[in-house]
Amino acid sequence: MIDILLMILTGIGVALFGFVLQTSIAGVNRKVVARVQKRYGPKWYQEFLDIFKLLSKRSVTHGWIFDFGVIMALGGIIGTAMFMPLTSSFMAFDGYDNFFIFVYLIAVGMLGMAMSASGSGNPLASIGVMRALTTMLAYEVPFMIVVLTIIKITGTSSLSEIGLFQQVAGNSWFFIALPIGGIVAVMALMGMLGKKPFETYIAPAEIASGPMVEYGGKQLGMLFIMHEITVFIEVSLFVHLFLGGAENIVLFIVKYFVVYTALNIISSVYGRFKIDQVVLFFYKWPLIMAITQAFIAIYLGWVI
Amino acid sequence: MLSTKFSPMSKEEVDRKWWEIGDFFRRNSLWMLMYCTGCCAIELPPAMTSAYDMERLGMGPMATPRQADVLLVTGYLSLKTLRRLIYTYEQMSEPKYIVGFGSCTINGGIYHDSHAVINQLNKYIPVDVFVAGCMPNTEAVMNGFVDLMDLIKNKKANGWKDYHERYEWYLANQKAALGEVRVHDEFHE
Amino acid sequence: MTNSMSNTEFVTNLVESKFKVLSTEVLDKYQVSFEVKKEDVHSLLSLLKTSGWIQLSYLSAVDWPNDNEFELVYIVFNWDKAVHIQIRCRLDRETASMNSILPIFPGCKYYEREAHEFFGIKFPGNPDHEKQLILEEWDDIPPLRKDFDPRAYSDRKFSKMEYKNDFVNKNGEVSKQDARTKRYDDIDKLRTGGKK
């Protein structure tokens, strides 16, 4: 009994750590992007100020589906983050860090957000949700092919075991061992995070920030927290699957920071695709590359 | 000698403390809704981009009224626009602030004798800061934003409370100028 | 390819051969203006549309209070020949009414609504011409008529900023600048012993 309580507390601690880490790194990244654009940039803790300001504001509601969806989204995402291993040996629920757990649980949060956005009754929110689901459909297919290739090679779907497999094999990360698949994963990750070329479902100038169009005050603050934890989950997945996990927490933070900053720098020089361009793009080159990589790695056995 | 015993604060005092903490966050993270009605809007691109970079003050553009904290009214307002502006202002979540740009929002400016343009914006909705000039230059615009932050810090940016307290007065002024505040057009039927 | 001068001549010949034109004005080599009778406007516009002037660029009115008339101006535009054609016609100011050109140029719908709103001209044939477009809930005579006083309307309708007379009129006093200049001149005179 005490064990389970302790595990749950550790899990909440992991989620909180993820929130603080991602929010700080997002603040630093706003400064990085500002320097790319020859600006000075905000303070590094600006993201914290934004979130706490939103929580301090008054807000209106558009019915209980609207409020309940926000809580469901935040709760679902915190529940998902509780299972995330930080290093290859430290995790809240030992043995439950299966890749598919994340795939399924992250959908709870996303569905909560979609439900709440539709509950607001704004047509732009519905368009945004529809675009988000379409983008998801596009990037999931090549990403899943690459991840299944990794699972076939390692023979396990546990994140920490995959990380350990790469460390035991002499630090041959899958990002290097499966170079084509690594590139596909970077592109899919940009789609997951909604970074610039695939920013279609946010599109502030086009559909007024999509699903978030009717949120203000406390609900928007909770959605921001949810977004930060979602980014934490997705980038951590990439670190564990492709960059050899992490032996200790410092290495994890360094790898995390490098991945997120690189994505932001790539994203800061791009414009935005249209939604049909996103789908066509993901179904063309990343899909071909992913299938090629799977064929090379599984049937020919060419893994560096 | 000061007592080290814990003395419980009254409810008003606790509320005041929380409000001061909230004010710190609110003044350091002002999200703007730009209602670009007139020519003063051209001062915003240099204020936002690398020349003056308002993001270092924590300010940034937002897409919808619900998300925004401060409404920028940049220039003259015709009667048709004023109706929509009142709709927009009432959609924003509180606490909310308004910055009026240019002499058009102060006394009508060069449109003071036009049949279509209102003269004093703060008769219809509560304006916290005016930036004078026709057009104000970008330094003045940035100075206006810093002034707004000081007002929030000194608890003087109370336009939104004033709108609650004297709503009858504002509504009477709106009705005198507009006839009826509700929008009746082909898209609202 | 024909040059532009022959374009205007082509237009003038085309119109003057078939209609009774009150006055023709070739403004420059890209613009021609015809004044016709009110009854001829529709057939003239149909003719021009079949001859290539397929786009209605603008429709507006001019107020002539001394003649007690409105002048309607239709501007049509051709994408092949670089000539704008203005068709003008005069209407009586008291009972201003003109049949809509909606069957010829459907794009005239909003221009006619605007003209009705700003001048009070009626356009029978356009079902929407009395709907409000730009001025919502207008409560005075149409504002672009010359006998409308926008300043009086603004003073009556919108509250003005009140200024206090807290300045001092210094006209007639010697300005500080002049006094200073005179003092410096005196000093210079003393220094040079009164010589220039």
pLDDT of residue C1: 45
Prediction pTM value:
0.81
Domain count, chain C: 1
Q: Tell me which chain A residues have a C-beta less than 8 angstroms from the C-beta of B62.
A: 204, 209
Q: Is B64 exposed, middle or buried (0-12, 13-18, 19+ CB in 10 A)?
A: buried
Measured in angstroms, the CA of C181 and the nearest CA of chain B are apart by 34
CA atoms of B31 and B22, how far apart (whole Å):
15
Measured in angstroms, the CA of B96 and the nearest CA of chain C are apart by 25
Q: Check which CATH number belongs to the domain holding C35 and give it.
A: 3.30.460.80
CA atoms of B68 and A193, how far apart (whole Å):
23
Q: Tell me which chain B residues have a C-beta less than 8 angstroms from the C-beta of C147.
A: none
Q: How far is CA C107 from the centre of its chain?
A: 20
Q: Please give the structure tokens belonging to residue A36.
A: 């790319």
CB A244 within 8 A of CB A163: yes
Contacts (Cβ under 8 Å, ≥6 apart) of C137: B178, B179, B180, B184
Q: Do B22 and A59 touch (CB under 8 A)?
A: no
Q: What is the pLDDT of residues B26-63, one digit of tens each?
A: 889 889 988 888 888 888 889 888 888 888 888 988 88
Range of the domain at A172: 2-300
Q: How far is CA A203 from the centre of its chain?
A: 18
Q: Please give the structure tokens belonging to residue B19.
A: 């409000």
pLDDT of residue A105: 86
Chains C and B: 3 or more CB pairs within 8 Å of each other: yes
Spans of chain C, pLDDT less than 50: 1
For residue B28, give the chain A residue with the closest CA. A49
The DSSP code for A158 is B
Interchain contact A61–B (C-beta under 8 A) = no
Nearest to B177 among C134, C143, C158 (CB): C158
CB B124 within 8 A of CB B86: yes
Interchain contact B26–A (C-beta under 8 A) = yes
CB A114 within 8 A of CB A211: yes
Nearest to B55 among A42, A213, A217 (CB): A42
Q: Do C143 and B115 touch (CB under 8 A)?
A: yes
CB B60 within 8 A of CB B31: yes
Contacts (Cβ under 8 Å, ≥6 apart) of C13: none
Query: How much helix, strand and coil, in percent to the nearest 5, is found in chain A?
Result: 75, 0, 25
Nearest to C150 among B80, B114, B123 (CB): B114
φ, ψ at C84 (rounded to 5°) = -90, 140
Q: What is the pLDDT of residues B66-100, one digit of tens each?
A: 889 899 998 888 888 888 899 899 888 888 999 99
* Average pLDDT score, chain A: 86
CA atoms of A162 and B29, how far apart (whole Å):
42
Q: What is the pLDDT of residues A187-213, one digit of tens each?
A: 999 988 888 888 888 877 778 787 888
Q: In the predicted model, is pLDDT for residue A171 greater than 70? A: no
Q: Do B53 and A39 touch (CB under 8 A)?
A: yes
Least confident of A87-91, B1-5, B132-136, C55-59: B1-5
Q: Do B53 and A215 touch (CB under 8 A)?
A: no
C101: amino acid identity, one letter: I
Q: What is the pLDDT of residues B178-189, one digit of tens each?
A: 888 888 777 766
CA atoms of A31 and A38, how far apart (whole Å):
10
Q: Please give the structure tokens belonging to residue B146.
A: 């810093």
Q: Is C32 exposed, middle or buried (0-12, 13-18, 19+ CB in 10 A)?
A: buried
**Which residues of A, range 204-233, sit inside 8 Å of B by Cβ?**
204-205, 208-209, 212-217, 220
For residue A27, give the chain B residue with the closest CA. B58
Among the listed residues A110, A272, A53, A100, the one whose alpha carbon sits nearest the alpha carbon of residue B67: A53
Q: Tell me which chain A residues have a C-beta less than 8 angstroms from the C-beta of B161.
A: none
First to last CA, chain A: 46
CA atoms of A32 and A50, how far apart (whole Å):
18
Residue A125, number of CB atoms within 10 A of its CB: 26
Among the listed residues A60, A28, A9, the one whose alpha carbon sits nearest the alpha carbon of residue A216: A60
Q: Tell me which chain C residues have a C-beta less than 8 angstroms from the C-beta of B108.
A: 154, 158, 160-161
Chains B and A: 3 or more CB pairs within 8 Å of each other: yes
Q: Is residue C161 part of a domain?
A: no
Coil, strand or helix: which one is B72? strand
C90: amino acid identity, one letter: R
Residue-level length of chain B = 189
Measured in angstroms, the CA of C137 and the nearest CA of chain B are apart by 7
For residue B26, give the chain A residue with the closest CA. A53
CA atoms of C147 and C132, how far apart (whole Å):
21
Contacts (Cβ under 8 Å, ≥6 apart) of A129: A113, A114, A117, A118, A201, A210, A211
Interchain contact B187–A (C-beta under 8 A) = no
Q: Which CATH architecture has domain B29-178?
A: 3-Layer(aba) Sandwich (3.40)
- Chains near B with 3+ CB pairs less than 8 A apart are A, C
- Greater confidence, A299 or C67? C67
Q: How far is CA B121 from the centre of its chain?
A: 11
Measured in angstroms, the CA of C154 and the nearest CA of chain B are apart by 5
Q: Tell me which chain B residues have a C-beta less than 8 angstroms from the C-beta of C148.
A: 115
CA atoms of B78 and A84, how far apart (whole Å):
56
Q: What is the pLDDT of residues B94-146, one digit of tens each?
A: 889 999 998 888 888 888 888 888 888 888 999 999 998 888 889 999 999 99
Range of the domain at C58: 4-152
pLDDT band at A179 (very low <50, low <70, confident <90, very high): confident
pLDDT mean over B146-167: 90
Contacts (Cβ under 8 Å, ≥6 apart) of A95: A158
Domain count, chain A: 1
Residue A295, number of CB atoms within 10 A of its CB: 12
Measured in angstroms, the CA of B126 and the nearest CA of chain A are apart by 18
